[in-house]
Structures are given as C-alpha cells and as structure tokens.
C-alpha cells in the first residue's frame, strides 16, 4: 500500500473514531477512487476537487434564497442593520482567508494532514465543529504569515 493511501486510511480511522462523518466518508471515497485503474479518479479530484467542493457549498448556501425562504425586503433590512454590516465584513474576511487557505493547500499539500489532525483534536477534546479544511488552512496561512513577519519562522 502506498504512503498516501496509508495516510488517507489513518484519516478515515480518525474520522470514524471521532465521529466526523464527513471526514470519514470523504476519506473512504478517496480510497475507493484510488482503486480505479491508474488512479484516474484521484487525479480528477486533485485537479477539480476544490472547485467542485466550493461550487456545491456555494450552491447549498444559495438554495434557501431560490426556495423563497427569505424575502428580499428582509434581506435588505438585515444587510442595512449593524449586525448585517458586521456579517458582510465577516463574510469578506472569511472569503479572503479561504482564498489564502486554498493557495496554501495547493502550494503545500502536506499541510492538509496537520489541518485535519488539528480539527480532529478540536472535535475530540474541545467540542469543536469541523467547518472544513479550507478555512482551517486559511487560518494556518494567516498564522504562518504573522510568525514569518515576527521572524519566528
């Protein structure tokens, strides 16, 4: 068994042990794709997986709007309130952070193992909620930038 498959198998086990269904299911899916001839399924995910994941996440966020669960007037009123303005700022900041996370994961894929391990530790011991490796990688990228600026790294 290749090193990569062993690492994904360990991530599957960690996800299963900590009750993280998304992580364990994703790891099982990647392992199944790795069994395809030539690893073509894993290659496809390497190339298009982040785009597809972000596409489906964005689609899920937009669906309630299309379903009519929110009225236009209510959305406008919320956006013009202090809470709504802070939400716009938070959305802007998190999108910038997520962009940094995608860049970090593409430039240094080995960071993904640390991001996943940190998420699992948080879930298992601190009641954390897994929001995804992209946001965690974005926070990692910001922390790395700060530590580099301070001369620590």
Residue 101 lies in a domain: yes
* Number of compact structural domains in the chain: 1
Whether residue 31 lies inside any domain: the answer is no
Any domain includes 9: no
Return the minimum-mean-pLDDT range out of 1-5, 17-21, 95-99, 113-117. 1-5
Residue 41 falls inside a structural domain:
no
Q: Is residue 125 part of a domain?
A: yes
- Evaluate whether residue 51 is within a structural domain: no
Q: In the numeric block, which tokens belong to residue 25?
A: 């299911």
| pLDDT tens readout for residues 29-64 | 999 988 888 777 888 888 888 888 889 988 998 998
- 102 found inside a domain: yes
Give the residue-averaged pLDDT of 16-33: 88
Q: What is the pLDDT of residue 1?
A: 59
Range of the domain at 146: 71-153
Summarize the confidence of residues 133-137 as an average pLDDT. 88
Tell me whether residue 33 is in a domain: no
- The whole model's pTM is what? 0.69
């Amino acid at each position: 068994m290749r090193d990569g498959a062993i690492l994904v198998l360990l991530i599957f086990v960690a996800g299963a042990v900590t009750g993280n269904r998304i992580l364990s299911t994703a790891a099982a899916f990647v392992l199944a794709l790795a069994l395809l001839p030539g690893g073509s399924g894993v290659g496809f995910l390497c190339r298009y997986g982040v785009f597809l994941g972000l596409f489906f996440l964005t689609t899920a966020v937009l669906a309630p709007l299309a379903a009519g669960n929110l009225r236009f007037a209510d959305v406008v009123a919320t956006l013009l309130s202090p809470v709504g303005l802070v939400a716009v700022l938070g959305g802007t900041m998190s999108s910038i952070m997520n962009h940094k996370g995608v860049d970090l994961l593409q430039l240094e894929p080995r960071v993904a193992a640390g991001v996943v391990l940190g998420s699992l530790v948080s879930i298992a011991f601190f009641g954390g909620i897994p929001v995804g490796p992209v946001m965690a990688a974005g926070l990692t990228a910001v922390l790395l930038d700060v530590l580099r600026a301070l001369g620590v790294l």
